[in-house]
């Protein structure tokens, strides 16, 4: 019987929730660092979140365009980045089709975080108890196209699956 088929006893302690909360704290620290010091070097963040989360605040036109999930990139063109410790909310202004939009994203709505510059990524379960602990997954920097020019017609949503390294099963 291989390791994946071994039945584990049900835990009476919520390790999965504690692990996810600790990893969301990593995202909070990264955002706080950028608020205080700006993005260092070529670092940039992909933040993926559930747009249908009840505490997400965003313009109706974007919610219509992205009814369930959205990925934003914090790299060159973002303004008014803030993190509210008490509420666990990230606030940022981005331009979509040349129109500025303020987004307010609770950490609890986050489903993924990545910093492709260093191949770092996290996945989360938004608003639900995870099936098992969420651990950091390495990501590769995209071989992507150049960043969109200001006033581009539509915002780009990036699937983080394209950045994940495929692991080979062990024999």
State the pLDDT at residue 8: 76
Residue 1 lies in a domain: no
More confident residue, 146 or 112: 112
- Position with higher pLDDT, 97 vs 170: 97
The answer to whether 139 and 122 have CB atoms below 8 angstroms apart is no
Identify the residue with better confidence: 116 or 146: 116
Tell me the pTM: 0.68
In this prediction, residue 12 carries a pLDDT of: 82
pLDDT score at 148: 41
The pLDDT score that the predictor gives to residue 170 is 53
pLDDT value for 10: 83
CATH number at residue 112: 2.30.30.220
Q: How confident is the model at residue 87 (pLDDT cuts 50, 70, 90)?
A: very high
Does the residue 104 lie in any domain?
Answer: yes
Whether residue 114 is contained in a domain is answered as yes
The pLDDT score that the predictor gives to residue 2 is: 62
Assign 31 a pLDDT band (cuts: 50, 70, 90): very high
pLDDT band at 154 (very low <50, low <70, confident <90, very high): very low
Residue 133 structural domain: 14-142+150-162
Instruction: Tell me how many degrees the CA angle 129-135-139 measures, rounded to the nearest 5.
Output: 125
- Quick one: which of 45, 20, 21 has its CA closest to 33? 45
E strand or H helix at 20: helix 15-37
**Is the residue at 4 inside a domain?**
no
Average pLDDT value over all residues in the chain: 77
Asked if residue 9 belongs to a domain, the reply is no
The whole-number average pLDDT for the span 106-112 is 94
Q: Is residue 100 part of a domain?
A: yes
- Say yes or no to pLDDT of 23 above 50: yes
CA proximity to 77, closest of 56, 54, 101 = 101
Mean pLDDT is lowest, of 16-25, 72-81, 131-140, for 131-140
Q: Would 170 be classed as within a structural domain?
A: no
| 48/122 Cα distance (integer angstroms) | 10
Q: Which of 158, 155, 157, 148 is nearest to 61 (CA)?
A: 155
If one counts the domains in the chain, the total is: 1
Q: Would residue 3 count as lying in a domain?
A: no
Confidence (pLDDT) at 16: 87
């Amino acid at each position: 019987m291989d390791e994946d088929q071994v039945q584990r006893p049900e835990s009476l302690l919520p390790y999965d929730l504690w692990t996810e909360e600790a990893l969301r704290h990593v995202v909070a620290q990264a955002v706080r660092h950028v608020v205080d010091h700006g993005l260092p070097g070529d670092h940039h963040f992909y933040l993926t979140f559930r747009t249908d989360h009840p505490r997400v605040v965003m313009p109706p036109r974007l919610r219509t365009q992205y009814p369930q999930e959205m990925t934003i990139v914090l790299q060159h063109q973002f303004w008014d980045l803030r993190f509210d410790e008490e509420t666990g909310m990230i606030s940022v202004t981005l331009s979509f089709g040349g129109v500025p939009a303020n987004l307010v994203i609770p950490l609890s709505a986050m489903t993924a975080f990545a910093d492709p510059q260093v191949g770092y990524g996290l996945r989360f379960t938004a608003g639900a108890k995870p099936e098992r602990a969420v651990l950091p997954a390495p990501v590769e920097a995209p071989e992507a196209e150049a960043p969109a020019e200001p006033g581009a017609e539509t915002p780009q949503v990036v699937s983080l699956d394209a950045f994940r390294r495929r692991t080979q099963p062990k024999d």
